[in-house]
Amino acid sequence: MPNRSADALFQLVHSLERAEKRNFKLYMTRNSASGNLKVIQLFDALDKMKDYDESVLLAKNPTIQKQQLSNLKGHLYQEILASLRLLKQESNIDLQLHEQLDFARILYNKGLYLQSLKILDRVKDLAKANNQVTYIQQVLFLEKKIESLHITRSMQDRADVLCNEVDETNARLEIISKLSNIALLLYAWYIKHGIARNEEDKKGLDAYFKDPVFNESQLYKGFYERLYLNQCYCWYAFINQEFLLYYRHTQKWVDLFHLEPKMIEVETAHYIKGMHNLLSAHFDLRNYRKFNETILIFEQFINTPIVQENQNNLIQTFTYLYTAKLNKHFMEGTFTKGIQLVPEIEAKLKEYELYLDGHRILVFYYKIASLYFGSGDSEKSIDYLNKIINLKLDLRTDLQCYARLLHLIAHYELGNYELLQYLLKSVYRFMAKMQNLSTAEEAIFGFLRNAFSSSPKKVKPLFESLLIELKLISDQPLENRAFMYLDIISWLESKIQQKPVQTIIRQKFLASKKRMND
């Protein structure tokens, strides 16, 4: 995994784009004071550094004393944020609403109650137009305060109207909070464990949906209520590998934004995540035509200013676009061609090393390892699998288990027989920690024990026997986990037919495409 500086100010400085740096300098010039010279000097010094090292920083900037550094860093951090707020407030609905609320509070504190109420009316309309329920609540809180403490004569039934609005808003916020909590808990479960392993996992996941918030979910009309509702079902369906349910709710998730296009700019990260899940659903269902259509829509969106002018959006779209591109090669059986993407991906991983979390890097390493394995380059596959095995992360235990299994098979492909018995025991112990190995996984380990000690003449019947066994259980719930991470069936067929594994997958893809076109 890339090394990342732990210094928050260093990360912030290096996240700034050229225009943002220029704006910061102008901002500091306009607000010049004697103490700001050292702040700018510190900014320039941090901007030039490739890695944060306090001793190097102080040695190269003798006018900055060590005892001053902490205060200077705190001051610089606040000034950068203030300059960014001024630069970005026109393009961010949260900043616009927050600013107007601040103006309303300032007017109230000046005793100008009616002027404050006028601004609050505008803020409320803007918040409603952009589905910002929490800001509506803040507006209503201040409106109630003004009406209860001062005689405004604004309208006869003002109290009744305000109380009804408050009740309605609070009810909505309670639903949104519950649904967003459950969606977050389900996603956290997936990041921790991956795919459901057994009936006990499934029962635990089912328990989330006993919450009364789901009883009248068909009546929910608000944007956020429906967004988080679909996210709940999306994560549940994916964890349980119920791909049709997963597809239906990812499509509904994305459709919400297409029905209200302005929300794409308001909640861009949620839209990007929805598009990623929709692409994943098409991939899981092997819906090649829809997958290609969706990836084109996603690429067109990536070229819009919404993405190009926002660092976070650029990082997220890179992650999900290249995940989809790799999946496309897995689907088509064009592994060797897909290897051309690896230098691009590694360059971006380096560029975004300050921002990418361990989970994303883990997934990329596994997909790249699978790409090399599918292309017949087991040595390069092992290089990337070793990166996963050596990561000290309590994330995606399922992915780490299958990395070890693929690592074992890659060594078998290379004929490293002296390592196999040791690796087999090590991998089995690691996977057993997942609790209740599936029937497919037990069958794979049973085969490997026998295959590693068998002569080439005797191993072919073992391949054929395992293939028959796995095909019989491949469609069973809670068994397809083994086939999601590792196309063991195609690998077995490649060994039996003595063809490269990517040739087998390519033939299946072309046959499936022909059936769809007939």
Query: What pLDDT is recorded for position 341?
Result: 96
Q: For 254-304, what is each residue's pLDDT tens digit?
A: 999 999 999 999 999 999 999 999 999 999 999 999 999 999 999 999 999
List of long-range contacts for 258-262, beta carbons under 8 Å, 24+ apart: 260/131, 260/223, 262/129, 262/130
Q: How is the chain split among helix, strand and coil, in percent rounded to 5?
A: 80, 0, 20
The runs of H, that is alpha helices, within 110-154 are 113-129, 133-149
Query: What pLDDT is recorded for position 5?
Result: 55
Structure tokens at 169: 């808003």
For residue 271, give the amino acid letter: Y
Q: Show Cβ contacts of residue 298 under 8 Å, excluding neighbours closer than 6 positions.
A: 275, 279, 317, 320, 321, 324
Structure tokens at 449: 């024990």
Q: Are 320 and 275 in contact (CB under 8 A)?
A: yes
Question: Alpha-carbon distance 257 to 143, whole Å?
Answer: 31
Q: DSSP assignment of 447-465, as one string?
A: HHHHHHTS-HHHHHHHHHH
Query: What pLDDT is recorded for position 2?
Result: 41
Query: What pLDDT is recorded for position 380?
Result: 96
Query: What pLDDT is recorded for position 478?
Result: 65
Query: What pLDDT is recorded for position 453?
Result: 75
Question: Alpha-carbon distance 21 to 83, whole Å?
Answer: 9
Query: What pLDDT is recorded for position 196?
Result: 84
pLDDT tens, position by position, for the chain (518 residues)?
A: 444 456 899 989 988 888 889 889 888 887 665 546 788 889 999 999 988 988 899 888 888 888 889 999 999 999 999 888 887 767 788 889 999 999 999 999 998 988 999 999 999 999 999 999 999 999 999 999 888 887 665 566 788 888 999 999 999 999 999 999 999 999 999 888 888 878 888 999 999 999 999 998 889 999 999 999 999 999 999 999 899 999 999 999 999 999 999 999 999 999 999 999 999 999 999 999 999 999 999 999 999 999 998 888 999 999 999 999 999 999 999 999 999 999 999 999 988 887 888 888 888 999 999 999 999 999 999 999 999 888 776 667 778 888 888 998 999 899 888 888 888 888 888 877 766 567 777 888 888 888 877 776 788 888 889 899 888 887 776 666 667 767 888 998 998 999 999 999 999 999 888 787 76
Query: What pLDDT is recorded for position 1?
Result: 42
List of long-range contacts for 9-14, beta carbons under 8 Å, 24+ apart: 9/46, 9/73, 9/76, 9/77, 10/46, 10/49, 10/52, 11/354, 12/77, 12/80, 12/81, 13/43, 13/46, 13/47, 13/80, 14/46, 14/47, 14/354
> What sign does the CA torsion over 147, 152, 156, 161 have?
negative
> What sign does the CA torsion over 261, 262, 265, 271 have?
negative
Query: What pLDDT is recorded for position 153?
Result: 59
Structure tokens at 157: 């039934």
